[in-house]
Amino acid sequence: MKILVIDGQGGKVGKAIVEQLKVALPNQNIIAIGTNSIATSTMLKAGADMGATGENPVVHNSKDADIIVGPIGIILANALLGEVTPQMAAAISGSHAHKFLIPSNKCNSHVVSTQNLSLTDYVQLAVERVTAFLIHPSAEDLTRL
């Protein structure tokens, strides 16, 4: 199973995701891809098994990823203060991977009908969904969570 955690800026969201995925799925390899080197470094320090930085690693690894986890901005061109290129957003959103996205109302993008949860709670929920998916990989099972 190829799991990508993609983040930008300082890598705070990605760090939290990696830390919790490593607890929930200790034997699973996690690949961290940052839109910048600080984000990649932060996720590697959090326990990611491998890491890479920039547009080409996002595009290349999205092609055969099974799961992609990150803030919702990774599928929006020019999000994260312009760190997500249109090519990155297209590669991630066009990937056949199952995507688990953390909602955020930043960068002029507002997610309607979300719960009013903290970032920590959203990360925990995303990790629970990834774990449940790995146990029961049908889309129907996820809708019941």
CA atoms within 13 A of residue 58's CA, in its CB half-sphere: 27
Mean pLDDT of 119-135: 89
- List, in order of start, the domains of the chain with CATH numbers: 3-143 (3.40.50.720)
CA 15 – CA 40 distance, rounded (Å): 9
> String of b and e for 66-92 (b: at least 16 CB within 10 Å)?
ebbbbbbbbbbeebbeebbbeebbebb
Mean pLDDT, the chain, integer: 90
pTM: 0.88
54 backbone φψ class: left, alpha, beta (φ>0; ψ -120 to 50) = left
What is the per-residue pLDDT for 111? 72
Cβ atoms of residues 69 and 129 within 8 Å: no
Tell me the pLDDT tens digit for each residue of 68-124.
999 999 999 999 889 999 999 999 999 999 999 998 766 667 677 677 788 899 899
CA 116 – CA 118 distance, rounded (Å): 7
